[in-house]
Structure 1
Amino acid sequence: MKPFEDALKNQPLGPMLSKAASVECISPVSPTAPDAKMLEELQAKTWYQGEMSRKEAEGLLEKDGDFLVRKSTTNPGSFVLTGMHNGQAKHLLLVDPEGTRSNSY
């Protein structure tokens, strides 16, 4: 199973943005700060890397299927799934189906 590739397949088709354009995008959601218990649980996961930039996250990925979850540096309080797909890093802002930042993982 390749969780990152499966997540990409489930994304709705829409306008594609280049990486350069998407860096400047700010999410319209109003995130709430994660609680201490949630952060403690996240820090115990091997896939969670804490707050880091897109560039730093991309530097940790080596091959297709590699992924990590990180705190966003451009959307405070939000989390991002960063993974390698077809030799290219992809970044997905994690939101729940109602369009708000997800506290679940």
Structure 2
Amino acid sequence: MQAMGVFSTLWEADNWATRGGLEKINWNKAPFYAYYKDFDIEGCSIPGPVTCASNPTNWWEGVAYQALNAIEARRYRWVRMNHVIYDYCQDKSRYSMTPPECLSGI
């Protein structure tokens, strides 16, 4: 099973992240560092939600978010076909066996 990681990026956000550009970024203070504080993530092992502890306060666990409808599935396929650069589930040169989390067909 693959370990889960979190990656993030910072980008120039003079307009939206600085009160509409009122507070200018001082590039002389670069490089900038960011960190996560009190970051908590809930995850489940394969095969998935059936074996996971459910939390009713998580809106994303609601019935509406458990499956895609036909239109959402078509849009999801389009995004994958047009925007995915790398999918380790398809990387046979690095992973001779398909990782277990890739077998769910999501």
Query: Structures share a fold, TM > 0.5?
Result: no
In terms of fraction of residues, the more helix-rich structure is 2
TM-score with structure 1 length normalisation? 0.26
In terms of fraction of residues, the more strand-rich structure is 1
Larger gyration radius, structure 1 or structure 2 = 2
